[in-house]
Chain A
């Protein structure tokens, strides 16, 4: 490490690396306390059924069994933006794998043995397994009481339907645009529901102590959301809820919101507050806890004779499975960004969240953008083909610029990323995108797409940071932000070290978060962590510096404006050798006679999103979009048209991230996103039979990408500063996945000369001409 190099922009080693690779990191599932009880769950084998009777009599006789509880015992509904989910099924099961009863026992084995003896009698109903079936006028209602559920105002359920949210975007005059168009195209795509496959399975423990404190430990991305929702749904004063989050082994959105914590609380309460552990097996994690949404979408584009976009009509029907969780807001986010990063003056989008009898879904890396961009970019390529335009050309021509407005008519300012620059970088790598090469009976083809992503979050989304100091002048950062492996905590160290002008080994950071002592923070979600917690941390460092300057001014008897800092000291600008070290002032300055002044330094920093609004329910007009991360993907594939077997040879991403804080970690996030995007597009997704039972709820049948299967990756960053981000940075954790399905689809479609529209793109779909098309 070069000593003189600024901490910002350098490849700092991850602060969590050593304990993770040595296996010393402690996760929620490792957090046993004495007297802890274990749980196992009876799961529904049916996708949709009435529960007629649950017989627990045999099960409760087994040794070690403390209690058996069913859903009827808990009248509360849980949810995130919509309270539609019982703690465990009450009267009806709405998806395969849904929890029907819980056994609480001394050991996990005992609990599992008892579960096998629980008998449940069902009256099976015909499950609804696709969005199009759920939207039929005569479809059975999966949630007949949809209008009585508690929701936040941004969510708009549709009475008498299976639609818990409909977001409408109406901009300009769509009929006029299509009327005047020289070219129009219409294209439909689909994506199955699937799983995040975070390495650590979800787990939560709860104990309620004699003082009424509710202690939750959880593998969550959002301990403060857990705290506030538990308070609301179970009527607990928020100050009495303490959520602890130790190391978290990946989340990808699956640990945002409220997951197992409500269940852990209800079960602990049912045994008088004794500590209870709820821990998913891999199979549980895949089908009883939420995965990612599916989509059925149709996009129509209108363009003039030169390929300039005039209008976009979009129908985005997101499949949320049996419960809404984050999905209602994902359908909203997909609408807000619903044109992709293009200037389109006339827009008409209906974006729905749709209930089906499949396992439910929640946030997933990309938050609705991966799905929507697939639909838009497939249509863009079909439009380019129709007009005879180069796929690069049509995107370059329509690229959104500062001064343009988004689908919700919010005006893009100077912080808008440089899409044309990103497209140029990708094109530079790939050359002529339209070139198709024959190689020993195989076909090599390329693609280029654009993507963008804005956070979809509450208008008052906040973060906080507290900086305390040690006797050696080093400091400790305390924030409420969760590290799930994305590298935020390392980034925080770099931002604070940069601000204080010290080496990074003088900055310590707490990996875990405890809601009673850490400052409030919304969640690790929306790629916001380094931007928002980072802003707060930089402000806390500046606040600490102000206080240290106060002390130095008093001791050195030189006005602040004549002081400077660097190398862990505050010194006179005029006589740099005269000064005080941070160690001398961090805990109060002690004079030679023992007198002490000022006391310890405590830096305080806050961040809150500014000027955000909701959107108009009829037109979508508003300003919900804080910042846009914009970029471009390029893909090169080699396909055997006979067998359909193909290889993704190259994956390229150029992204405008404002400022690169740590090049290796930034690159890692983008490559990780691309790799995940490849798995999502060509391997993953749940399979189910006609009864709605998932048939690949394990990692032998639900394959994810392995190290050996990666293409050659190239990553490029542009740095158009985000004016409200710390040192100009903006979020980059998610956007790198969002264009991948579209890019892969477009490259395969070009190779085979026909549109490839239905994920996953298996060899069979490519080899069999009319398979599913």
Chain B
């Protein structure tokens, strides 16, 4: 039988963790966990629902809690727009920002604006909460030690000029063939891609040199489309120019 824990405090969480002899998993929005479970892909029997821990649902100028749902993200505009591109409305009512960053699927689109915004991330680690720049921990996926838990994100809400385009092979509700986010930063430009390769790709550039930007990303070929087509789509977006105008 599966067991579900619902800790209200970090002390409670710590004691639950200490009592664990078997493998467990964190349960946030559950959209990935439940669909994997139905397909028999989840082996863990102990589930820990993290939504009731302090701060997990926080939405303050300083912090967005890890369990805030995608439909609740409103600021800055680029974050809200990327969030609104993910899955469908019903799913976004359950899908959490932390879950999207930590999930196993290759897209993790919400990582792109968070990186562009130089977000910091709070992690519950060994009984305490630490705060580090997201980009220090994110390489292909979020690097977490066993037991570590993302509790929130911290970033500046100031609007910045950006370009966003999400290409799919069917309608808007589909995994991305290429999600493109280009943001004007203090030093130059951030360009982030999801669906373009098998992991989210991103880089910072001093100048808007289409050739240079295009060549710094690697496209994959898969069921959704060929690498050549992805390259073509990226080139079309880059040719539209740098995100210099405020939106």
Interface residues of A (CB under 8 A from B): 112, 116, 281, 283, 642-643, 645, 682-683, 687, 695-696, 700-701, 703, 705-706, 708-709, 762-764, 767-768
Contact = CB atoms under 8 A, between A and B. Distances in A.
A682 B172 CA distance: 14
Contact of B232 (A112, A683, A767): A767
23 contacts: A112-B40, A116-B40, A642-B232, A643-B233, A643-B236, A682-B170, A683-B170, A683-B171, A700-B175, A701-B175, A703-B170, A703-B171, A703-B174, A706-B171, A708-B172, A708-B173, A762-B169, A764-B225, A764-B229, A767-B229, A768-B226, A768-B228, A768-B232
A642 B171 CA distance: 18
Interface string B123-148: 00000000000000000000000000
Nearest to B229: A764
Interface centre among B170, B172, B232, B233 (most CB of A within 10 A): B170
B40 A642 contact: no
Contacts of B233: 643
A768 B170 contact: no
B223 interface: yes
A643 B171 CA distance: 14
B21 interface: no
Interface in B200-245: 223, 225-226, 228-229, 232-233, 236
A696 B223 contact: yes
Contacts of B39: 283
A683 B223 CA distance: 12
A107 to B, nearest CB: 12
Given A706-B171, A764-B229, 6 more contacts: A683-B170, A683-B171, A705-B171, A709-B171, A764-B225, A767-B232
Contact of A763 (B169, B172, B175, B228): B169
Interface centre among A281, A706, A764 (most CB of B within 10 A): A764
B229 A768 contact: yes
Interface centre among A283, A643, A683 (most CB of B within 10 A): A643
Contacts of B94: none
Contacts of B174: 703
B167 interface: yes
Contacts of A116: 40
B167 A643 contact: yes
Contacts of A700: 175
A696 B175 CA distance: 13
Interface centre among B38, B40, B172 (most CB of A within 10 A): B40
A700 B39 CA distance: 13
A645 B178 CA distance: 13
A701 to B, nearest CB: 7
Interface in B100-129: none
A701 B229 CA distance: 19
Contacts of A642: 232, 236
B32 to A, nearest CB: 11
A526 B121 CA distance: 60
Interface string B172-190: 1111000000000000000
Contacts of B40: 112, 116
Nearest to A696: B223
- How many of chain B's residues touch chain A, expressed as a range? 10 to 19
Given A700-B175, A703-B171, A708-B171, A764 B226 contact: yes
Nearest to B223: A687
Nearest to B174: A703
A768 B167 CA distance: 15
Contact of B173 (A643, A706, A763): A706
B234 to A, nearest CB: 11
A526 B172 CA distance: 34
B167 A695 contact: no
B107 to A, nearest CB: 11
Contacts of A683: 169-171
Contacts of A696: 223
A627 to B, nearest CB: 36
A683 B232 CA distance: 21
Contacts of A645: 167
Contacts of A763: 167, 169
Contacts of A281: 38
Contacts of B170: 682-683, 703
- Complex A-B, nearest 4 residue pairs according to Cβ-Cβ distance, in ascending order: A703-B170, A709-B171, A764-B229, A683-B170
A281 B175 CA distance: 22
Contacts of A283: 39
Contacts of B171: 683, 703, 705-706, 708-709
A705 B170 CA distance: 9
Contacts of A687: 223
A116 B39 CA distance: 12
Contacts of A705: 171
Nearest to B40: A112
Nearest to A765: B229
B228 to A, nearest CB: 7
A645 B170 CA distance: 9
Contacts of A682: 170
Contacts of B228: 768
B12 to A, nearest CB: 30
Nearest to B232: A767
Interface in B9-68: 38-40
Nearest to B237: A643
A701 B223 contact: yes
A706 B229 CA distance: 25
A671 to B, nearest CB: 17
A77 B52 CA distance: 56
B198 to A, nearest CB: 15
A744 to B, nearest CB: 14
B208 to A, nearest CB: 20
A695 B236 CA distance: 29
Nearest to A701: B223
B38 to A, nearest CB: 8
Nearest to A705: B171
B138 to A, nearest CB: 24
Contacts of A706: 171, 173
Contacts of B236: 642-643
A642 B226 CA distance: 15
B149 to A, nearest CB: 27
Contacts of B232: 642-643, 767-768
Contacts of A709: 171-172
A206 B173 CA distance: 39
A706 B89 CA distance: 13
Interface in B55-101: none
Contacts of A764: 169, 225-226, 229
A303 B192 CA distance: 56
Contact of B223 (A643, A695, A768): A695
Contacts of A703: 170-171, 173-174
Contacts of B175: 700-701
Contacts of A695: 223
Contacts of B167: 643, 645, 763
A764 B229 CA distance: 6
A112 B226 CA distance: 37
A736 to B, nearest CB: 21
Interface centre among B39, B171, B174, B236 (most CB of A within 10 A): B171
Contacts of B223: 687, 695-696, 701
Contacts of A701: 175, 223
A750 to B, nearest CB: 22
B197 to A, nearest CB: 17
Nearest to A709: B171
A379 to B, nearest CB: 28
Nearest to A116: B40
Nearest to A688: B223
